Structure 1
């Protein structure tokens, strides 16, 4: 007798096989790997996705809190692996993972140190900015530009100024760094001072002009020292022609090309014109054998000196005329003005000179012819003289 086929058990087996097949095709909706938007962002406490199967089962599934996950990549990205796990009604465990990454950088960037430096020259314009470089463990780095410089500070002597230029940079994760460079310059906008050399007059008349003058100069920042003038400017003559002057100019520049000038006027008495003696005409003394005058007096004038009366000498050698009856001598006037210009003038004085007695022609003695003759009222003879 044939066994009867047990359809009940067969149906149960088929149902179990079908159910197992359906659950085997259940799935957790894949949540793609992703990176957090911000640097150093907080890790999410968990992730959420959905699951479903073909039997109509579905729902929400929450991941674990994630575990650190190491990948052989750069140190600037961190990873955390989140795992979703769910068990279906048949005890099948469904599992899915999502890898979350974040940009991680808590190290400040480094700015290449630009040494402090001094600008060349004096009063040089400040640079509008400085250029350096920066680097970072995670960001690209590159060239960096400073600010336009801070407040200008001046040292106590006023000759040096400095200002601090600041570099500031922030990497992609907002880590920042600053670096400063001090720029210095030699500063002097004050003109030097030349010691004033008073105007003066040369001692002698028509004195030689000095080739130059010497004074001193000082400066707030430069060393100063001795200053030499030029060789003198154009010679100017006063209206009366008796004085001349010329300006000597001192010019000096300090180390920053601030310049100063100072002038000194030098004067000299100038007179190359001889004085004039008023001509005293030659004359003859009134009396014979008159005494010679001890001196003669006249006056003199000059273009620059005061002039006045002048006495002659006491007369030169007495000369006698050929007939011996006239004598003369020359009186000489000599005068010099204040500048040593001299003049001479002469006057000849004459006198009748005769110390020899005349001679009377001898008239012989005689007797009147008549007795008791009348005496002649006078006699006549002749005389001669030298």
Structure 2
């Protein structure tokens, strides 16, 4: 407790310091001689954590959709009515926050006054204040935000895909919830979720920049109080292997059809294996669908895909999916081309030459994440919350073999577990 530990990875010439603070908070400092320091203070609590209890409690509690995001918004409001953003202003801190399916993260960047900015961050995130009046006010604000996102084509095409892929899992619901669900949120619900998930043992602080661990410890000693140890039990609905719907199509104000195509994947239970699969899948996606692939060049030249064609692999503890996105005159042609490429690869496999080339490109891209204090802090926290270590990932990529990647491909690139979401332009009537 309170001992600062150094971890070095000489193969990539990177290091970080770890401190398990007396308050219960795990602190990570990644030193870099950059002008901008970046700090992220996160909790393992996201929109998917709807049903939970503490160890020793009898019953699980299910809260309305959107509580995690609502709580993130409310944390910026201080008891005296001032805004936490204003507290950063005298020190030049550039602050923000976001909620994902699995985490809520508060962050800032600064070029000076690091200690003062960190003091602001740690202070307001550990000082909740909710009243009936302020909750009602926030319900109106977030309700308008939800309506705005409903009309956002990129947001809509993505969440429609998740609704197509998943039958029961909470990721099929917008992170902000619905106007109806947030109307059910009360100060009591917010305090219950805060006291459960904002316990410092469930949180982490990651900082990257020209900062010392002793500096960070001094501010933490000043601001943070010891938190009781507790075990959080989460409950998620059973999710079948099959997709919910093969297709969702809607019309919005877009100039060209948008598409998201997804393949539902069963993730590994083990965090280390999830990282191995993520590395292999990202290499496979670059090899099969990247800008230098035969698929990309052929379909770009023929006009089937545009330069906005993207691919990614998303994975968390209990779900994973392979995603393709972009704009196209005929999204179904893109869908057909992707399925044809996967079928062809199932028949013909991969050559060692193309695999090694793709792996080298991806390995280089992985190292580039260490160049930015923002990328390092955010990625470090993301890896940490999924049970991994960002500093280990380049080695995992380097050790990925063609045999292992092929095994992942044959298991996970299953077009029978795929779905498409399309946003079409609204037809104008004469």
TM-score between both structures, scaled by the size of structure 1: 0.14
Higher RCO structure (Cα 8 Å, ≥6 apart): 2
Q: Which has the larger radius of gyration?
A: 1
Which has more strand, going by share of residues? 1
Larger helix proportion, structure 1 or 2? 2
TM-score, reference length from structure 2: 0.13
